[in-house]
Amino acid sequence: MANLRLKNIKKSFAGQIALDNLNLDIEDGEFFVILGHTGAGKTTILRCIAGLEQPEQGEIYMDDELISNLSPATRDVAFVFQEHILYPHMTVYENMAFPLRPRGHSESAINSRVVEIAEMLHIKHLLGREPSQLSGGETQRVGLGRAMVRQPKVFLMDEPISALDAKLRAEMRAEIKWRQRQTGITTLYVTHDQTEAMSMADRIAILKDGDVMQVGTATEVYHSPANLFVADFIGNPSINLIPCKVSAFEDEYMQISLLDHLQYQITEAEIVKQLARMDRDCELILGIHPEDISLEDISLEDRQNMDDISAEIYESEPLGAETIVDLNLGKSERGEMVILKVRTSPDFDKAVGQMVAIKFDQKQLFFFDAITGEAIR
């Protein structure tokens, strides 16, 4: 077990920056997830920690000891690659046992460890097979098992379950997290799947173009996003983002204009206080999660109410446990249709084309600077 610290790490390939002055602190025993789109620099972080890539700048510490210049073999990390390469002349059992043999374990201890991990990964029935007899998903599980039989200071996992089907991925998320809790081994887990990140991580680092956008728990990055990128990236369906401007201000309320044609009145004191610091007509982005919106039947009185918004149902998606409703708010300045997604109960029965009143939970509203993308706090 070990803590890790990455300080001012910079790495580029053929002049293209992969990591840009990156800083991360991972605590001893933490399950730390690095989340980002393809090409964000996630794998490069792991390869730098393992010693497979050498940063042009910066330092890497393990247990407060500088390891930047140590060889990969002396760093005591286990790397689970996205593409698992097995020894073709060995059985699954022999592949999994291989990392333990140089460490002087007895055959009974090796057998016990291999069988234990194989049962956890649902591959015990594959132990006698050769790699050529495995499917892609089976190969991935064997590669994961070969790393997990060891007990290194740090696990580095690069999308280790991406080739598995959805049901098995869900099972493996729980198994990997349970195993990590039992061993207490510090784990860095890379993924582009936010469900994996939010369900497994003690903390998440959200990466964009080699730069850390935010580090926090799943709750923190979802309910307190630092910027537009984080807000838009986390959540399924993703957060609704609507261009707006402050159009009127009084001590106890603020009126904003959405898409230049919808007027909405904010009475939540904390938000009024936040927006009071902004210049009138400055460009903002309002954010609200689909579950923080409710829909009601609309009446003539509702349509005349200043703090009410109405919209037409554009589409609905029944998903069994819930229904996702798409509302047409109108067009943006660029002429693009703006759709508001709402998470509703499975018995939602309003028809496409029907008008509904939209109720925002004002305590859950976010505002972002439209120019910088930073959250207004």
Tens digits of residue pLDDT in 33-81: 999 999 999 999 999 999 999 999 999 999 999 999 999 989 989 888 7
164 falls within a domain: yes
CA separation, residue 49 to residues 7, 10, 154, 234, 295 (Å): 12, 13, 10, 26, 49
CA distance 297 to 351: 12
89 plus 222 within the same structural domain:
yes
224 plus 277 within the same structural domain:
no
CA distance 238 to 215: 19
Instruction: For tokens 């098995």, name the residue.
Output: 168
**Given this model, what pLDDT does residue 276 score?**
83
146 falls within a domain: yes
Instruction: Return the DSSP state at 320.
Output: S
Residue 315 sits in a domain of what CATH number? Answer: 2.40.50.140
CA distance 57 to 81: 24
Closest CA to 86 of 134, 125, 131, 117: 131
Packed helices 107-120 and 136-148: angle between N→C axes, nearest 10 degrees: 130
What's the angle, vertex CA 293, arms to CA 290 and CA 294, rounded to 5? 130
CB neighbours of residue 227 within 10 Å: 18
Q: Do the beta carbons of residue 145 and residue 121 sit within 8 Å?
A: yes
Residue 50 sits in a domain of what CATH number? Answer: 3.40.50.300
CB neighbours of residue 368 within 10 Å: 23
CB neighbours of residue 87 within 10 Å: 12
State the amino acid at position 336 in one-letter form. Answer: E
111 falls within a domain: yes
374 falls within a domain: no
285 falls within a domain: yes
Which of 233, 249, 277 is the last residue before a domain boundary?
233
141 plus 65 within the same structural domain:
yes
376 falls within a domain: no
Q: Do the beta carbons of residue 21 and residue 68 sit within 8 Å?
A: no
205 plus 293 within the same structural domain:
no
CA distance 176 to 181: 9
**Given this model, what pLDDT does residue 377 score?**
80
**Given this model, what pLDDT does residue 250 score?**
78
95 falls within a domain: yes
Residue span of the structural domain in which 176 resides? 4-233
Instruction: Return the DSSP state at 375.
Output: B
Domains identified in the chain, total number: 2
377 falls within a domain: no
Instruction: Return the DSSP state at 248.
Output: E
CB neighbours of residue 352 within 10 Å: 11
**Given this model, what pLDDT does residue 86 score?**
87
Counting other chains too, the contacts that 98-106 makes at CB distance below 8 Å and 24 or more residues apart are 98/146, 99/146, 99/147, 99/149, 99/150, 100/149, 100/150
Ranges of residues in the chain with a pLDDT under 50 are: 306
75 plus 206 within the same structural domain:
yes
65 plus 179 within the same structural domain:
yes
68 plus 205 within the same structural domain:
yes
Q: Is 317 exposed, middle or buried (0-12, 13-18, 19+ CB in 10 A)?
A: exposed
Q: Is 22 exposed, middle or buried (0-12, 13-18, 19+ CB in 10 A)?
A: buried
Instruction: Return the DSSP state at 350.
Output: P
**Given this model, what pLDDT does residue 306 score?**
44
17 plus 38 within the same structural domain:
yes
CA distance 225 to 227: 6
Which of 172, 206, 233 is the last residue before a domain boundary?
233
**Given this model, what pLDDT does residue 171 score?**
84
164 plus 290 within the same structural domain:
no
Q: Do the beta carbons of residue 266 and residue 256 sit within 8 Å?
A: yes
Q: Do the beta carbons of residue 48 and residue 210 sit within 8 Å?
A: no
**Given this model, what pLDDT does residue 301 score?**
56
263 plus 153 within the same structural domain:
no
27 plus 153 within the same structural domain:
yes
Q: Do the beta carbons of residue 154 and residue 2 sit within 8 Å?
A: yes
23 plus 117 within the same structural domain:
yes
Which of 233, 250, 277 is the last residue before a domain boundary?
233
